[in-house]
Amino acid sequence: MASEVLIRRIALSGDFLDTDWLDPAVAVPDSIKRIRVVSSEITFAIVGKASTDADADVANVTGVTVDAYLASEVGGGLVRGQSLVEVEGGALDGRIKIKGSGLKTGEIVRLHLTLLGVGALAAADIYLVGGGRPL
C-alpha cells in the first residue's frame, strides 16, 4: 500500500450512510477530504477492519455492498457527480476497489459512501489508490 493514501477511517456499528451533503443546509464533516482529480480515472479501496485500532487486522468483507459517488465542488456548493463502480472485491483480503472514469483533471471532489451489510466489521479504512491528490 505504499502508493495508497489513507483518506478516511470509519468506525462501524452497523450499516453506514454519509449524510446528504448535496442539501445546502447540511455541512460536510471535516473528516471528508477534498481530492483534486489528476487523471481521467480515480480509484479508491475500502478495507474492512476487525477493530477500530489503527493497526487492526484486515477483516473479511463478504456481503458488503458499496454505493459510492463523487460530489463535485461547483460554484461554492456540491453537486452529485459520477457513481463509482466496484472493479474488484476480495472477501479474503478484506478489500473492495471502486473506480470512476471520464473525470476532468483539476476537478475537486469528495467521496460519498454508503456501506450496507457490514456485519461484524468494526471499521473501514478508505484509501485513495490513484487518479487524485488529497488537499
Residue 95 sits in a domain whose CATH number is 2.60.120
Domain that holds residue 30: 5-134
The predicted structure's pLDDT at residue 1: 44
| Distance spanning both ends of the chain, measured CA to CA | 19
Per-residue tens of pLDDT for the chain, all 135 residues = 448 999 999 999 999 999 998 888 888 888 899 999 999 999 999 999 999 998 999 998 888 889 999 999 998 889 998 899 887 665 557 889 999 998 999 999 999 999 999 988 999 999 999 999 999
What is the length of the chain? 135
d(C-alpha 98, C-alpha 93), whole Å: 15
The count of structural domains within the chain is 1
d(C-alpha 30, C-alpha 131), whole Å: 22
